[in-house]
Amino acid sequence: MEFFNLHTHKWTNQPNVLELVNQYPQEFDATIPYYSIGIHPWFIVEERIEADLAIIKSKLYEANCLAVGECGLDKRIGIPMEMQQMVFEKQLLLAQQYQKPVVIHCVAAFQELITMKKKMNISVPMLIHGFSKNTQVAKQLVDNGFYISFGKYLLLNKELETVFKSVPDNRFFLETDTVEEGIEAVYELAAKYKGVSIKEIQEQVNSNFLEVFKIRI
């Protein structure tokens, strides 16, 4: 595996890239080789929650379902926080039951996220995707056992260089999310910021992948 893209909404089918493609229960595409599946907080539909969870559960048996998510908490949307927490909690329990990592969407709710992890005693890896906050938040997340994935905002915001450099090498991943740039561009920038070669970034991400996902691809 030359490149691993932790989170993308678009499968590009490149032979040298392993893409963890985000899937939603109601729009599942069985042709995608490796994916995560979850209920995004933006797309919670109250009368469909149990049906969506049943679909997620049915996919967690499959080897090419690598993670639960993206799921999480978002304080900047209209869906009540209590409902978001309930849906997220149910997905965390599934992840724990089936021993799958969790790809997390979190907006303005990092304290709640950390509290839930502790309260529920979640031991599977929890990965914050699309990180865009400061060094202090990053350190708090790392100190509480989270992994942090960088991509879109790393490309867009030069101020994230310091944040990215502060994250331990064994705790970061790289992604594209919704940007047009390929994952190679993210690797190039990550290598520049860390002051190492792209090959060294590849080796580190592959090591982190093995540690989190427990599979060799």
Consult the annotation and say whether 40 binds a ligand: no
Parse the chain into domains and list their residue ranges.
Answer: 3-213
Consult the annotation and say whether 105 binds a ligand: yes
CATH 3.20.20.140 fits 3-213, yes or no: yes
Query: What confidence score (pLDDT) does residue 79 get?
Result: 97
- Tens digits of pLDDT across the chain (217 residues): 899 999 999 999 999 999 999 999 999 999 999 999 999 999 999 999 999 999 999 999 999 999 999 999 999 999 999 999 999 999 999 999 999 999 999 999 999 999 999 999 999 999 999 999 999 999 999 999 999 999 999 999 999 999 999 999 999 999 999 999 999 999 999 999 999 999 999 999 999 999 999 988 7
Which amino acid belongs to residue 35? Y
Consult the annotation and say whether 7 binds a ligand: no
State the DSSP string of the chain: --EEEEEESS----TTEEEEEEE-GGG--TT-SSEEE---GGG--GGGHHHHHHHHHHHTTSTTEEEEEEEEEETTSSS-HHHHHHHHHHHHHHHHHHT--EEEEEES-HHHHHHHHHHHT--S-EEE-S--S-HHHHHHHHHTT-EEEE-HHHHH-TTHHHHHHHS-GGGEEE--BT-SS-HHHHHHHHHHHHTS-HHHHHHHHHHHHHHHH----
Consult the annotation and say whether 177 binds a ligand: yes
